[in-house]
Amino acid sequence: MVPNLIFGIPTHGFFVALGVAVATAVFVLECRRRGALGEESLVAVTGALVGGAIGMRLSSIAETLDPYESWMFGARSVLGGLLGAYVGVLIAKRIIGYRERTGDLFAPAVALGMAVGRVGCHLTEAPGRPTGLPWGVHAPTTLPSCPGCVSGVAMHPSFLYEIAFQLAAFGLLWWLRTRISAPGELFTLYVSAYAVFRFLVEFTRANETVWLDLTRPQWFLLPGLVLVVVRLRIGHRRGHYDVVLRRKVAA
């Protein structure tokens, strides 16, 4: 049975908090390595934390159409949190007049923090859609909004898929951070990869489909996927990924 509390904190909230702590530690380490640890970077982190918290709470308005219910009891969407964190950083930097790009500092930190935070999702939320694959999981019948848990069918461990993705992304970003020097490109690669992964993994998630067999997160992501393709093509044409692709640069 999934524990309701860990050290007196709800299980999901505990791992979210732990993920934020891990992400902050990685961010500080990367700031130190780049010589960017100062008041400006700390303000950016504050903006990310505040914006992420607000974004997660507001993310369910589209479902409930009730601002009070969404704020107090709504789902804590990771996509809403990421969007809120991004907007929060932009606002915080604008307030203090800081013009340097900080996305590359956040990319590895966010990936590792997400991997930790998703452990809480795996322990407390419906795993995914039914599957006949040998790695299907059986979850406790006490999980909310999980018909498959009650009927005892095997389900996709969709959150484990994401944990694996985020850990792999962190390892790759950590390796690339000394190889891609163009400002903002490391962050662009992470966001692009996660957008594609999240769209695909939604086919295994337990989220409700709303139109054309796609979920709300998938419809939310569709416009972003178009922008991702355009943005990656621009970076590719400018040679920002030459080192990674081992493409010869003209002498």
pLDDT at 163: 96
Nearest to 101 by CA among 87, 89, 116: 89
Q: What radius of gyration, in Å, describes the C-alpha atoms of the chain?
A: 19
Provide, rounded to the nearest whole percent, the portion of the chain with pLDDT above 70. Answer: 84
Mean pLDDT to the nearest integer, 122-140: 89
State both tokens at 142: 């006490």
Q: Residue 85 CB: number of other CB atoms within 10 A?
A: 24
pTM of the model: 0.83
Residues in the chain: 251
Question: Is the predicted pLDDT of residue 218 greater than 60, yes or no?
Answer: yes
pLDDT at 74: 42
State both tokens at 187: 């962050």
Q: Quick: pLDDT tens for 52-108.
A: 777 766 655 555 444 444 434 344 566 667 777 778 777 887 887 877 777 788 889
- Burial of 37 (C-beta count, 10 Å sphere; 0-12/13-18/19+): middle
State both tokens at 107: 């990319």
Distance set, CA 179 to CA 27, 109, 110, 242 (Å):
18, 17, 19, 10
Tokens 């991004």 locate to 86
Chain center to CA of 197: 10
